[in-house]
Structure 1
Amino acid sequence: MTMTALFPGRTPAGGDHVTDVYRYASRKGAIESVEAAAEDLGLAVREVSAAVEHLVESRLLRVDDSAGLRFVPVDPELAAASLVSSVEREIYHRRELIDQIRERIGTFQPDYIAAEASTGPRAVDYLVGSMEVRGFLKTASDACRDEVLVLQASGGVTGDLSETFLALLARGVVVRIICQHRNRGDVSTRMRMKRLTDAGAVVYTLSHIPRSAVVFDRSLVVMFGSGGEEANVARVRDHGIAQFFLDLFNHLWEMATPLEGIEFGYADVADDLQQSIAALMAKGYTDEVVARKLGMSVRSCRRHIATLMRDLDATSRFQAGVAAARSFLRNAG
């Protein structure tokens, strides 16, 4: 076994020669000198030196003289026990540190609870910074029991929270997601979505979603910030606002299209996508603005616009937008 196998993710400087050098030491009973071992093995001295250094670090060889030139092999079981014990000690110290942090921070909890009891819980508060946001989302997910509703805007939350959603699904929590049509054409996002749907999530797509949000158990709403370098969310515990988001989600759900199968592309949502593009074109928006609002690349957006103008035999973008909007309205009527 090479040291790469013993320590995944680490490549010893001696490469595959680590195994050869350890076998040599075991067969000879010791490495009396690196130069002699290199000659016997037909290797360069630097290769044997690197392998010996790694074996000493891994407790499979130990120095057996004051000059540090003689090395004897160590039973691999003893070497493993020695390494594991040091790792276990580190884990123990980290757990001890975690307990101390929780104990110290926990002393402030009664004050926070008392303040909320006297003034009532704040309807909306804000969390800033990735550590604070991640900690809150984990707490909210752990407390969730029945249902999670997700609105994912462009550059939204599903990629960051997919593992959280998978854990919720494994516990039997219902997860429903509405994301943008662009996810149908993005390979990495589509693969993440497939993992979620395979685990039981239900995913629909829509042409445009203005803001990312998650609703836990129909009562706790988390709205994600739309910009800025730092992660930021608004935590909403107001019943009226929560009901508004539930109504909004259900309204969008009725308009959205199921994401089914594993095929890529926009075939299932072409009409909805063209209608959205036409409406934005009719307002005089540039290609770049239309693409940004629909969460797609400018190149893809321009392909859709070219198709729309060709189908409508339009000579200008504005003319195409107005004609398409009228056509869609007639068809809807």
Structure 2
Amino acid sequence: MIQGELTTLGLGRTEERAYEALLREQADGADDLARLLDLPRERLDAALDRLVEHGFARPPDPAHEGCLPHPAAPAAALRTLIHRRQAELHLKSAELARLRMAADRLVGDFGEPRASGAGVEVVTGRRAIAARVEGLLAAAEREVVILDRPPFTSPDVGALLARGVKVRAVLDRAGLADPARTRALACLAGRGLRVRVAGDVPAKLLAVDRRITLLPPTEAAGPRASALVVGDGLLCGALVPLFEAVWERATPLGGGDGGLRGPQRELLALLAAGLKDEAIARRLGVHVHTARRRISRLLESLDARTRFQAGARASSRGWLDS
């Protein structure tokens, strides 16, 4: 889901391609760049405008028509963009907390499951919640994403994987204190589960096919515990990006600090600084072909197609902070 991760940051594939072309100085002007990327000029201009808007480039000289923007160093631009997205997600988390408090008050007043408006259903009681989760998972067709923190839940991920449904999960690091849970996750990972670990997962969440989201109880599911089922498009549009942001910053299970060795971190920092292949080779004291091979291996280890994706992933996880 690399493309989804970049979209979460506010940029897409077209902007990424244009930005990397600017970094490599592959074109002499806007028309040349449009031909190089095989894009209509209008679409390229829109992508360049978005790069300027998000801080990835400085505006071109207005005195020279067709002049290209000047690319900013990737590391600084990525940090600015990520901080902006984090601020937006903090606001969404606050909205989520208010929604949860309103639902808890509703359950306290009426004691029965009922709709609370705006496409939100309140489900009360352990058995009712378990049945609702089972029904949502049975209806899943493409993908289920999960955020889990104490008290931990145990959805039947194995059955989803057996049906070919993709599953991604972010587990709060506290969950690794249970060896049995860790072994079970490792076994499911071998069957296709993509699981990552984060230090402070902000909420419990289960989203099915990006169309309906369930927020499990924040406390142990007793007789009065309540879950929220969110089907409204606007609300789901806030919750799914929340998952993607946590997913992007999380570490693969067993990956520690991402599994990057010292030389890989040095190379990643050089890429993030915007250096070209020849300059990187000089800094590393190797031939340019050797530097390019190392860059290719680094991108592969980060599951990234391009340098921009590698920089976005590393910066969002804090690997470039030093």
Greater relative contact order, per chain length (Cα 8 Å cut-off, separation 6+): 2
TM-score bracket, normalised by the shorter chain, equals 0.3 to 0.5
TM-score normalised over the length of structure 2? 0.42
Name whichever structure is richer in helix by fraction.
Answer: 1
TM-score normalised over the length of structure 1? 0.41
